[in-house]
Structure formats: structure tokens, C-alpha cells
Amino acid sequence: MKQKAVILLAVISLAVLSSCGKGGADKPGLNPSDGPVKYAKASVSVFKDQDLKTWGSNLSKTEPVTLLETMKVQVKGAETEVAKVKLSDGTIMYINNKNLADKPVVFMEDTKAYVRNNASSKVYAVIPKGTIAFVVQEMGDWAQVYAGQIDGKWITQQWVNGGYTSEDGRIQEAKNFEEAAAVLKNSKSKPDQKSQALAVLKEISESSGIFSEAAKSILASNSGESTDSSGNNADGGGTAYQEVKVDASAGLTMREQPGTSSKSIVVIPNGSTVKILNKGNLEENIAGKTASWYEVEWNGNKGWVFGGFLAF
């Protein structure tokens, strides 16, 4: 009996240790037993079908999902590796697997990115302190990373030897700073969006993180911003929507949701003027142009268009 009790205690201990292991257990809504946790490398669409035709939702940059399986699918005439994923709310969606990475990191110092995983190879670029990147694969002390476009160069599979952290708190701080700074830089941001961004930066400026001084600098340069709680300008004026012209010789398709797979509403003729209502989170590269999707109004229709064909 004593021996059986010892065995039973050992089994229970192993179960407890397993439940405390890594692999996404600390991510709300994600069950590590379902599959490995992956992260979105940018704001990107997920789809309801494996052909990536029916838009389902948008993932934000660094958002985690559970990878259930991958498959080869013909998407727009090309063989594509598609990932079947489970979102944190349990929804099953599909996404181009190239948009997922093993884990997000944030660089804590300016770091050299090499062509290969040794210090004797060519330095391809320097990744600035505070940059959010994603680990593609690891070999010993080296990591291959995706960091997007930096100073005109695309960092998609270069190698670094340290200089970063994968700590959740640091990544969230970097993401908050990046998003708030982008809102203030965007001339089309609404007053309530700017007010919220300023509040986020104020909180960051009062912290001891690596973005504290940068946040203080941005706050100083935006010290004239003043909005009330309703999001209107402090002088009493309402929100002013920007109007821009369509710059697409074949016309610009307005869709129900951001993304080329969403249902078409109408084709807006070249040279037409549209009213910008909102900037979406999805950014894509279409016909050599990288831009966000915008919610617009034209001729009584409201929908989403690709910003690369708007003449701002």
C-alpha cells in the first residue's frame, strides 16, 4: 500500500508540473494541448474558409492564435500554405501561414542583423532599439528574425545574436508605444483617437521602460493638442472628415470589409472624390503599393478601399 501511495503521488506531481509548463498556457483562451501558439506578424485578415475567400476578422500585430494544422491550398491560382487556427475566443479561422511566427520579441538595444548566423558574415542592417520583431527559427545562441521594413530594407530572415527580450510586458509596452505614436503621426486620426494616444504615451513617459524618453519627446511636440471627452475639437467644431481623390485608372473597388477577399459593393471611378471616415488596422501590399485600408463614403455608399490608390 505504501508503494502504491508513492507512485500515485509521483503521478500527481507530474501532472501538476505539466500544467505549469510553457507553450501558451498563460495566453487567455488558448489551450496548449490543442497545438502550438503562433503570433501574427502584422495586422492581418483571417478567413472563414481555407481558400481565403471569405473575410472573417482581423488579427492585430503580436496577437496569439493556436495552430491546429497546415495544408497546401490553391489560392488565386498559386499553391499556398494555409494555417487552420483557433482564436482566443475559440473561433476557427484560416490564414496564410507566412503571416505567423513562433514568438514576438522587442529589441532592447540597437542590434546588428547578419546575413547568416555567424559574426563573420555580412551585417545586413541594424535593428533599432524598441523595434518589435518575430523569431522565425533559432539555432543555438542565434535567432532568425522578421522585423519588416527598416530604413528601406526588408528584414525577413536575417540573424541576430541577442539584444532582445520576449517578456510579455516589454512587448505590450512596445506595441502600445508604436500604435500611439502612429495615431499622432497620422494626419487623418480623429480627435478622440489622438486624445487616447496622448493618454497612453503619458503613462509610458512616467514609467521606467525603454520608451519613456521617446514618449516624453512626442508629448512635448504635441503639447498643443486639446480635445474634450466627446472627441470634438476643443473650440467646439465637429469632426472634419478628409476628402481625397481616387487614383486608379481602372477604378477603385469598395468592399464590405477590409481585404481583397471581402464582397465588392461598387467600383469608384478614377478621379472621384471620397470622404475618409476611418483608418483600419489592416495593412497590405497590393500592386507594389503598401498601405492601410480605409472606410470611406462615396455617392451614398459606405465601405472599405485600399489606401494605395487614394491621392492623399
How many whole angstroms separate alpha carbon 288 and alpha carbon 181? 25
Q: What is the CB neighbour count within 10 angstroms for residue 17?
A: 9
The pTM for the full model equals 0.61
107 grid coordinates? 529589441
How many whole angstroms separate alpha carbon 149 and alpha carbon 135? 15
Which residues have C-beta within 8 Å of that of residue 271, sequence separation ≥ 6? 245, 246
Q: What is the CB neighbour count within 10 angstroms for residue 186?
A: 14
Q: Digits of tens for pLDDT over the chain (312 positions)?
A: 444 444 333 433 434 333 333 444 455 568 778 899 999 998 899 999 999 999 999 999 999 999 999 999 998 889 999 999 999 999 999 999 999 999 999 999 999 999 999 999 999 999 999 999 999 899 999 999 999 988 888 999 999 999 999 999 999 999 999 899 888 888 888 888 888 989 999 999 998 888 988 888 888 887 755 433 333 333 333 344 688 999 988 889 999 888 888 888 999 988 899 998 888 888 888 888 888 899 999 888 899 999 999 987
Q: What is the pLDDT of residues 135-191, one digit of tens each?
A: 989 999 999 999 998 888 899 999 999 999 999 999 999 999 989 988 888 888 888
Q: What is the pLDDT of residues 196-207, one digit of tens each?
A: 989 999 999 998
Q: How many CA atoms lie within 13 A of 312 on its CB side?
A: 14
How many whole angstroms separate alpha carbon 126 and alpha carbon 112? 4
Nearest Cα residue to 201 out of 177, 184, 220, 224: 177
Q: What is the pLDDT of residues 121-144, one digit of tens each?
A: 999 999 999 999 999 899 999 999
